[in-house]
Amino acid sequence: MSAALTEPRLLDAGEAALVVEFGNTVDPAINDRVLALDEALGADPPEGLRERVPTYRSLMLHYDPLVLDRATLAERVRTLAASTATQTAGTTLWTLPCCYAEPHGEDVAQVAERTGLSIDAIVAAHAGATYRVYMYGFAPGFAYLGGLPDILAVPRRPSPRPPHPTNAVVIGGGLAAVATVPMPTGWYVIGATPARLYAPERDPSFFIDAGDLIRFEPVDTATFDALAAREAAGEPVARRWEAR
Amino acid sequence: MMAALTIETAGPGITLQDRGRHGFLRYGITAAGPMDPLMHATANRAVGNPLDATAIEISTGGVTVSAEDAPLEIALVAPGFRVSLDGAALPVAVVLNLEPGRTLVVRAGAAGSWGYLAVGGRFAVAPVLGSTATHTRSGLGGLDGRALAGGDRLSVADGRPGDAAPQRLIAPWLARDPGTVRVVLGPQDDYFAPDQIAAFLAGPWTVSPRGDRMACFLDGTPLRHAKGHDIVSDGIAMGAIQVPGNGLPIVLMADRQSTGGYPKIATVIGADLGRLAQARGGMPIMFRPVSVDEAVAARRAERDILRAPVAREPVVRTSFASDFLLGLNLVDGVTDGRP
């Protein structure tokens, strides 16, 4: 993989955060390098490294500059980035139940209008794809997913729609996402999952990591309700598969 | 019975904050934490608490509190605000013994956006994801993830009475001129031509009154982007200055989102975040670029300030000289006797 040989750019975000930038596009090969560095630093974190925030194309490292100086961190990053080129993403696959029917798939009809697809075709396309968790951001547990089929690539709304319910399954701008916390959104709500990607009182509060793969499994409204009840009782309804 | 602090009345935006919720940014969880970390730490230090303990962050909405069941030692650090105990004015940086039946009132004054109230002992609030910091947008921390309101009762574990007479805190490091804020350029300063970087630094910018815990908005002459205003979303540090499509910079503060898609021209250094947070709407500010080394040195100096206890002196209501001298630093309306 020749991309592995290019040096990342190191950009300061003040004196307590360093951005390790591998590129400036949404690209699985770039994201692989972000996640590989994230994993390597996580396996043996230098003292003073406080947080690692993987995004599509960069890894933000928050550090305590009174414990870890910038030069030491930068050297460590350069060494790891040059030697850690193996793909680490995609070793864990999750299946999440997803109900596309009313009342959950609030905006499916609008997506049908914009794409010219039938609702069944939208569901088949969305549930037929395998997604990669590129990153979390925007809100607690908001998971940005790559892998949306091109036929579902609708632009985001010019202005936000009213707040969506919890655990909405959304698409927009060529990407997919699971939106955990109700908020106004520029995305289209095409369904909901009873699985809670984020539950602050649960241990762990998050179970899906950046780099994991996701598939959606269509369920009807009655099944959704039954699964939601199980999830609420503390029995996770997302299923995990090792794809290694 | 455990002592308690009762919130009699609270304006909007009064929250419990500890050092912030760290370790979950990668899952989209904002750190929150104090808007002015140095002032927050000073209040905690004054009552012998860990520097990052839970304290009440007071907005310009103001707050009225009283003690329940037992006297409590209170440190209040709120430069620019008006502070009174049962109607008698107090210094704006003070430790006092709050006895049940007495009322401590904090109101917005001529300057300052945030003040801090720490209690000797600790607020018995359950941490969420390792922190009590309140983030109202996602409903995390504090009391049920919300701002404090009249009628709330905050239990205080290991509470203790303070000295009988209020004592003024001597904290000259809190006398900070918000006029010039130091920044490290980047991470996306290359999205702006050199003349636009110069325009950003020269300003002058005016702090918009619509700021909150999430962001400080700046008004002035819009900046132009050299390569458009959309980037592929990446991480956001506290103090990041993003420039959206309208060209007016936004400084992202404690309640910011963890990632975002606008170019960030510069980042406010840690030691100057509190100064900027204290600026009120309409106040002019400029930016001065510094190196990472200089920013680290400023951060180190700030840490070292609070290694020693905060000095105190008796509140002397008749000494014009003392009040005058301290007034240069911190004090607003100490001797006028009005609430």
Q: What is the pLDDT of residues B148-175, one digit of tens each?
A: 999 999 999 999 999 889 999 999 999 8
Total domains in chain B come to: 2
Q: Are residues B85 and B17 in the same domain?
A: yes
Q: Are residues B201 and B143 in the same domain?
A: no
Q: Do A200 and B28 touch (CB under 8 A)?
A: no
Name the residue facing A198 among B27, B231, B236 (closest C-beta).
B27
Q: Do B258 and A138 touch (CB under 8 A)?
A: yes
Q: Do A19 and B235 touch (CB under 8 A)?
A: yes
At B185-213, the pLDDT tens digits run 999 999 999 999 999 999 999 999 989 99
Q: Are residues B194 and B289 in the same domain?
A: yes
Confidence band, pLDDT 50/70/90 cuts, at residue B237: very high
Name the residue facing A53 among B139, B235, B267 (closest C-beta).
B235
pLDDT score of B323 more than 60: no
Q: Do B259 and A135 touch (CB under 8 A)?
A: yes
Q: Do B138 and A139 touch (CB under 8 A)?
A: yes
Task: Return the residue of B nearest to A11 by Cα.
Answer: B187
Q: What is the least distance, in Å, from the CA of A23 to any CA of chain B? A: 10
Q: Do B237 and A60 touch (CB under 8 A)?
A: yes
Looking at the complex, does the CB of residue A25 fall below 8 Å from at least one CB of chain B? yes
**Which pLDDT score is estimated for A26?**
86
Find the mean pLDDT for residues B132-155: 96
Q: Do A51 and B26 touch (CB under 8 A)?
A: yes
Higher pLDDT, B249 or B230: B249
Q: Are residues B68 and B190 in the same domain?
A: no
Name the residue facing A200 among B30, B140, B257 (closest C-beta).
B140
Examine residue B325 and state whether it is found in any structural domain, yes or no: no
Q: Are residues B265 and B222 in the same domain?
A: yes
Q: For residues A215 and A230, what is the distance between their CA atoms, to the nearest angstrom?
A: 20
SS3 label, residue A176: strand
Alpha helices of A91-220 — where are they, by DSSP H? 108-115, 119-128
Q: Are residues B222 and B206 in the same domain?
A: yes
Residues of A in contact with B184 (CB under 8 A): 12-15
Examine residue B226 and state whether it is found in any structural domain, yes or no: yes
Confidence band, pLDDT 50/70/90 cuts, at residue B283: very high
Total beta-carbon pairs less than 8 A apart between chain A and chain B: 135
Name the residue facing B237 among A17, A56, A140 (closest C-beta).
A17
Instruction: Specify the pTM.
Output: 0.91
At A111-128, the pLDDT tens digits run 999 999 999 999 999 999
Task: List strand residue ranges (DSSP E) for B2-123, in order.
Answer: 3-10, 15-17, 55-58, 63-68, 72-77, 82-85, 88-90, 93-98, 104-107, 115-119, 122-123
A199-206, Cβ contacts within 8 angstroms, sequence gap of 24 or more: A200/A140, A200/B128, A200/B129, A200/B140, A201/B128, A202/A234, A205/B24, A205/B27, A205/B129, A206/A136, A206/A141, A206/B24, A206/B27
**Which pLDDT score is estimated for A1?**
43
Integer angstrom CA distances of residue A200 from A106, B159, B175: 26, 29, 39
Looking at the complex, does the CB of residue A60 fall below 8 Å from at least one CB of chain B? yes
**Which pLDDT score is estimated for A5?**
53
Partners of B95 in the β-ladder: B75, B167
Q: Are residues B100 and B158 in the same domain?
A: yes
Examine residue B320 and state whether it is found in any structural domain, yes or no: no
CATH 1.10.357.10 is right for the domain spanning A93-240: no
Residues of B in contact with A52 (CB under 8 A): 26
Q: Are residues B284 and B163 in the same domain?
A: no
Q: Are residues B119 and B204 in the same domain?
A: no
Give the DSSP H/E element, type plus range, for residue B41.
helix B37-46
- Containing structural domain, residue B29: 4-175+310-314
SS3 label, residue B99: coil
SS3 label, residue B108: coil
**Which pLDDT score is estimated for A156?**
85
**Domain harbouring B278, CATH code:** 2.40.100.10
Task: Return the residue of B nearest to A199 by Cα.
Answer: B129
For A155, what's the count of Cα atoms within 13 Å in the CB-facing half-sphere? 3
Q: Do B259 and A138 touch (CB under 8 A)?
A: yes
At B78-117, the pLDDT tens digits run 999 999 999 999 999 999 999 999 999 999 999 999 999 9
pLDDT score of B335 more than 80: no
Residues of B in contact with A20 (CB under 8 A): none
Q: Do B22 and A50 touch (CB under 8 A)?
A: yes
Q: Do A15 and B234 touch (CB under 8 A)?
A: no
Examine residue B322 and state whether it is found in any structural domain, yes or no: no
Examine residue B329 and state whether it is found in any structural domain, yes or no: no
Low-confidence ranges of chain A (pLDDT < 70): 1-5, 85-90, 243-244
**Which pLDDT score is estimated for B52?**
96
Q: Are residues B226 and B113 in the same domain?
A: no
**B-contacting residues in A 126-145 (Cβ below 8 Å):** 135-142, 144
SS3 label, residue A239: strand
Residue spans per domain, chain A: 4-83, 93-240
Q: Are residues B198 and B171 in the same domain?
A: no
Q: Are residues B278 and B189 in the same domain?
A: yes
Find the mean pLDDT for residues B235-250: 95
Task: Return the residue of A nearest to B273 by Cα.
Answer: A14
pLDDT score of B332 more than 70: no
Confidence band, pLDDT 50/70/90 cuts, at residue B260: confident
Q: Do A69 and B29 touch (CB under 8 A)?
A: no
Which amino acid type is present at position B73?
A: E
Domain A4-83 in this protein, CATH class: alpha beta
Question: Do the domains A93-240 and A4-83 match in fold?
Answer: no
Confidence band, pLDDT 50/70/90 cuts, at residue B317: low
